[in-house]
Homo-oligomer: A and B are copies of this chain.
Amino acid sequence: MKAKSGGGKASAVAAANIAFIKYWGIRDERLVLPVNPSISMTLRSCLSRCTAELLDDGAETQVFLRTESGELAPAPDGFANGVREQVERLCEWAGESRSMRIAAHNNFPTGAGLASSASGFTALTVAVLGALGREVDPTEMSVLARRSGSGSAARSVFGGYVEWPAGESEDAGHGVQLAPPEYWDLCNVVAIVDPRPKSVSSREGHRLAPSSPYYQRRQEELPGRLEIVRRAIAARDLELLGPVIEKDAVELHLVAMSSRRPIFYWQAGTLAVLEAARQLRSQGVQVYCTIDAGPNVHLICRPEDEEAVAETVERLAQVEFVIRDRVGGPPTLDDRHLF
């Protein structure tokens, strides 16, 4: 990846990803190294865009979000601080002492368990390095994106199906592509039961995870599940993939609901969608659910079943709307700047 012409300013687009086996629990919070490996599918339509521009020396890094009206507004402090730290980290890595103007935008609900931080920090990392004129291979980009604090950004740097091993060291903590997007055309119908930001952050969830009496047991289950998911992706076998990802997602939430203090990400609509998926399966439709740290449900299915799945969950009273997404590619740089 390389900055487009017009050095000093770059825009990047990166997609969210949906984890089939999720990480829940962090081994090293500073280095952002997870307790367990995770495997995800990078999406096509849930996108974050970021524009980064170098500022003159002496200025402070400024962070903006594009609002619904299309204007830029100063970002809330928490988000702005995370962005500033990542900009500083990347400049330091590049050996430059610079500040930047940053603008960001998501085309999907933010902070609602849809991996908006993965896509957002990947887009930021790609845009900043673009503005600095640095060429970086995806492996190094993955390490740098991960350091933002959003571990799953390590996966959004790649398209298709991606594993993020529980790297033992700083440099080993990067994603690895298991298969490109064109290898297996899977759909992700996202049932949005609540688009608002979740009340407990994933970061807090990772911290609390080991306090659940059931945490260790899930960890013991994971190596076998990861192996099944790898095999299922290699064989493009949804009937092999589906049950294990649905099981693991439910159990991640069981760990959350039994951590001290308990975290209830599930809402009424979450259960309604899980039940709808069981009903669809009883009618022969291959559809399996997974749920990130939030109330919304991702229904993984084949393209020929996408409409039936989407229409079924759209009819549920507790579903606000549905996003029809698919497997997608890696982040890209372009010239469609946000300012």
Q: Does A271 contact B (CB under 8 A)?
A: yes
- List B contacts of A60 (CB < 8 A): none
User: Complex formed: what's the CA distance from A270 to B266 in Å?
Assistant: 11
Most buried by B among A213, A221, A267: A213
- List B contacts of A278 (CB < 8 A): 264
Q: Does A272 contact B (CB under 8 A)?
A: yes
- List B contacts of A247 (CB < 8 A): 258, 262
User: Complex formed: what's the CA distance from A264 to B276 in Å?
Assistant: 12
Cβ B264 vs Cβ A274 within 8 A: yes
A24 to chain B, nearest CB (A): 14
Q: Does A217 contact B (CB under 8 A)?
A: yes
User: Complex formed: what's the CA distance from A257 to B13 in Å?
Assistant: 38
Contact-residue size bin, chain A (C-beta under 8 Å from the other chain)? 20 to 34
Q: Does A254 contact B (CB under 8 A)?
A: yes
Tell me the dominant secondary structure on chain A's binding face: helix
Q: A214-B214, A217-B214, A221-B213 are in contact. Are A267 and B258 (CB under 8 A)?
A: no
Cβ A257 vs Cβ B264 within 8 A: no
User: Complex formed: what's the CA distance from A318 to B269 in Å?
Assistant: 12
- Interface 0/1 of A194-215, CB less than 8 Å to B: 0000000000000000000110
Cβ B268 vs Cβ A264 within 8 A: no
Q: Does A171 contact B (CB under 8 A)?
A: no
Q: A214-B214, A254-B214, A257-B250 are in contact. Are A271 and B262 (CB under 8 A)?
A: no
Cβ A271 vs Cβ B264 within 8 A: yes
Chain A contacts with B in 255-313, Cβ cutoff 8 A:
257-258, 262, 264, 266-272, 274-275, 278
| Shortest Cβ distance from A193 into B: residue | B268
Cβ B254 vs Cβ A258 within 8 A: yes
A222 to chain B, nearest CB (A): 11
Q: Does A135 contact B (CB under 8 A)?
A: no
Q: Does A251 contact B (CB under 8 A)?
A: yes
User: Complex formed: what's the CA distance from A262 to B271 in Å?
Assistant: 13
User: Complex formed: what's the CA distance from A251 to B264 in Å?
Assistant: 13
A331 to chain B, nearest CB (A): 36
Most buried by B among A214, A264, A267: A214
- List B contacts of A272 (CB < 8 A): 268
- List B contacts of A267 (CB < 8 A): 271
8 Å CB contact of A254 from B254, B269, B274, B318: B254
Chain A contacts with B in 82-103, Cβ cutoff 8 A:
none
- List B contacts of A274 (CB < 8 A): 264
8 Å CB contact of A217 from B217, B251, B275: B217
Q: A214-B217, A217-B214 are in contact. Are A258 and B268 (CB under 8 A)?
A: no
27 A-B contacts (beta carbon < 8 Å): A213-B217, A213-B220, A213-B221, A214-B214, A214-B217, A214-B251, A217-B217, A247-B262, A250-B257, A250-B258, A251-B258, A254-B254, A254-B257, A254-B258, A264-B271, A264-B274, A264-B275, A264-B278, A266-B271, A267-B271, A268-B268, A268-B269, A268-B271, A268-B272, A268-B318, A270-B271, A271-B271
List the 6 closest pairs (A to B, CB-CB), nearest first: A268-B268, A254-B254, A214-B214, A213-B217, A268-B271, A268-B272
